[in-house]
Amino acid sequence: MVVYNGDVRDPDQSASHRLRQDVLPEVRKSILTGRLKPGAKIIESRLATTLGVSRTPLREALLHLEREGLVRSDLRRGFTVEPLSAREVRETYPLLAALECYAARTSAQFLAPLLPALGRVNAQFRRARSARQALELDTRWHDTLISPSNNSRLAAIMASLRSTIRRYELMYMSDTAQLPTSAAQHEAILEALGKHDMKTAVEALEANYILGMHVVLRKMGEE
């Protein structure tokens, strides 16, 4: 037994707790990065072996991810990765756009010092050569833009929504021909912010999200 701050704990229980904490983000990452494909059946024994864990912590992680909407369970089929959904795209992109516009408006006076950094990230984004690199740079750009808002609740909500659209954003970024258009929209936002024209900046920011939504919907065969 080990004593932590006056509490007696079993080292095996502590190790088991850490194991459970590690499994959830690893499985979530596999889904969000596309290693586990949308609609794919999850073979628990195979995935547990890949992760080097027993099926118990894996099952707990899958049940948690079902509550997050990333997997679904069926008594006969077991767990499958949640398929991509046009409805989810239509619901999430405008909501995320509205929240980011709100964050930008409420922290307008603090944005000017960030413009050089945002410009550098956008230049890297324009030159990205893979979907994952482009997505990470695009995420960094948007995170930097909202960083002065200093609203932890807003940041948590937006982080959850970004996680929701990550699979769709990878679909968007997989077509690198789209990147110059997105980069140009970022530049328009920065130009407006440099002129202290928040109205134009917010309109351009919303247009950036709406473009992404429409491109993704077209790739999914939707009008």
Task: Catalogue all structural domains in the chain, each as residue range(s) with its CATH number.
Answer: 2-81 (1.10.10.10), 86-219 (1.20.120.530)
Model-level pTM greater than 0.85?
A: no
Q: Is the sign of the CA dihedral 18, 23, 26, 31 positive or negative?
A: negative
Average pLDDT over every residue of 129-151: 94
**pLDDT tens, residue by residue, 72-99:** 998 888 899 989 999 999 999 999 999 9
Cβ(168)–Cβ(84) below 8 Å: yes
Cα separation of the two ends of the chain = 62
Q: Is 201 a residue whose pLDDT tops 50? A: yes
**pLDDT tens, residue by residue, 166-181:** 899 988 998 888 899 9
**pLDDT tens, residue by residue, 94-126:** 999 999 999 999 999 999 999 999 999 999 999
Please state, in angstroms and rounded to a whole number, the distance separating the CA atoms of residues 181 and 12: 53
